[in-house]
Structure 1
């Protein structure tokens, strides 16, 4: 589906309609926002060709943040875009020029074999092709202004991109996750993501509020796609962030803290999806949200550790 020259690309990571990148086309030039993994590059180039453009007509690759499901393929993609510059939060720039720390950190969690299979070896981006985007930085796509907004809470190196012409935001993970499997007559379901290691509930509340203050017509999420009803969804995100914080604080000091977090998050999401009119059972819920429940539990645990005793 295309609106205002915005093309949604399914990167193919994990499963269909799980991980999106976006292609913006304006005046026969283009920008990608996020890029998935190395294995996604052929999909992005195919989308570009389907839009009638050549790789030489891509001016920008803009990253919301450097988590590998958003940015793992940046080096491989940039190698195929001869005239493009990469735009990234100042805190993430060094990881694009030298991704060894990103690779080492993820490999310590998942192992070398899984990393190679899921992401492929990370390729550095030449430093001279990297543009650091502090808060308020504008990317010019042939006169179309894309404003970069510092939006911490999920990660300190996170930014959202506000497309002034389309009046929409590309939110990465700041505006949560909304999988199409949970759509009902009430619209999309949404939940926050507290993936380790930089969850900050106060900052995330503020970042969501900042995006909402722009009064956008829609949000474009990496996970997954365009969502409207933004005020209603923002209210739900604030509600769930607070509920997740309560769950975390209640589990603080428990000997089985992680297991308790997983159980309570599952209970929370089951209640809210049922309230939303989704009729799947517990097994289906864990099928679609199991990985996110695990990662959210880990992220809340890391956040609790930052609070100390």
Structure 2
């Protein structure tokens, strides 16, 4: 706990983090996120002259939200902050350290929904069809094929073990958010990539290492290494935009939805608890359709200038 936070605030925070880790069994990453959000609020309260959680009111939290907004935080980030505060006060209420939950009726300001960036089908095919130039690129292509084939999150990919994938059945058993397990289909190209990677992996990893994807040292590959290798792959293989792991997941979802139109199936494949999370891809698909419409429909084409309009009008009159 940072030294500048007094025990009156820091002590309850430390107990709450212990509760989140041991009783609720949240991941270290989730616990770190909660701790950072609560520390930020605690520091702000100290600046306002308050050192007691039980003295915080709804009015105080509204001022805090306004402060976060002035600092440039998005509505989504502020909503995450408020979620952490609500959970914290639920704990304080349970333990008898607070009389109410001042965050219950506080809402984050709305912000425009940012649509995920995706690569088009031709670009993905071009990148994944590129031949590896060295052994670790065999691994890299296998990782990216599998990520795009099954819509995996970065953490899901890195946590795969060799026995997580049944190549004969064409299936992968994946542990997603909240420790939930789902069984996913694996495409032919990804299965081919796995069959090419396994002999290379055998020369790197000791027999006791369960991880499917390993580093040059033979241990499980880190999230940061996957990110760096995908970025490198895009540069070396000629991508026209910077690649990151979630882009492959977004591309999987968008391409699946565009081809099938089955939103519920895409939700299951992605492991989304709420279908509203999956619906962002319907907006993405509509944007694609709208661009095609604008470029193709004779009564919808947009002109860049009045002169161009007149020129085109004259041409249309001659046809």
TM-score range, shorter chain: under 0.3
Report which of the two has the higher share of helix: 2
Q: Which one has a bigger Cα radius of gyration?
A: 2
TM-score normalised by length of structure 1: 0.28
Report which of the two has the higher share of strand: 1
TM-score normalised by length of structure 2: 0.27
